[in-house]
Chain A
Amino acid sequence: DGGITQSPKYLFRKEGQNVTLSCEQNLNHDAMYWYRQDPGQGLRLIYYSQIVNDFQKGDIAEGYSVSREKKESFPLTVTSAQKNPTAFYLCASSWGGANSNQPQHFGDGTRLSIL
Chain B
Amino acid sequence: DQQVKQNSPSLSVQEGRISILNCDYTNSMFDYFLWYKKYPAEGPTFLISISSIKDKNEDGRFTVFLNKSAKHLSLHIVPSQPGDSAVYFCAAGGAKGTNAGKSTFGDGTTLTVKP
Contacts and interface: CB of A to CB of B under 8 A. Distances in A.
Interface in A42-98: 42-45, 48, 50, 56, 58, 90, 92, 96-98
Given A31-B101, A48-B101, A101 B43 contact: no
Contacts of B41: 108-109
A96 B37 CA distance: 21
Q: Bin the interface of chain A by size.
A: 20 to 34
Contact of A106 (B6, B45, B102): B45
Interface of B: 4, 6, 9, 31-32, 34, 36, 41-46, 49, 51, 89, 92-96, 99-108
A42 B46 contact: no
B59 to A, nearest CB: 12
Nearest to B42: A108
B101 A100 contact: yes
Contacts of A45: 102-104
Contacts of A2: none
Interface of A: 4, 6, 31, 33, 35, 40-45, 48, 50, 56, 58, 90, 92, 96-101, 103-109
A103 B107 contact: no
B89 A50 contact: no
Nearest to A4: B43
Nearest to B99: A100
Given A96-B101, A100-B95, A100-B99, A107 B43 contact: yes
A109 B46 CA distance: 16
B100 A100 contact: yes
A45 B51 CA distance: 22
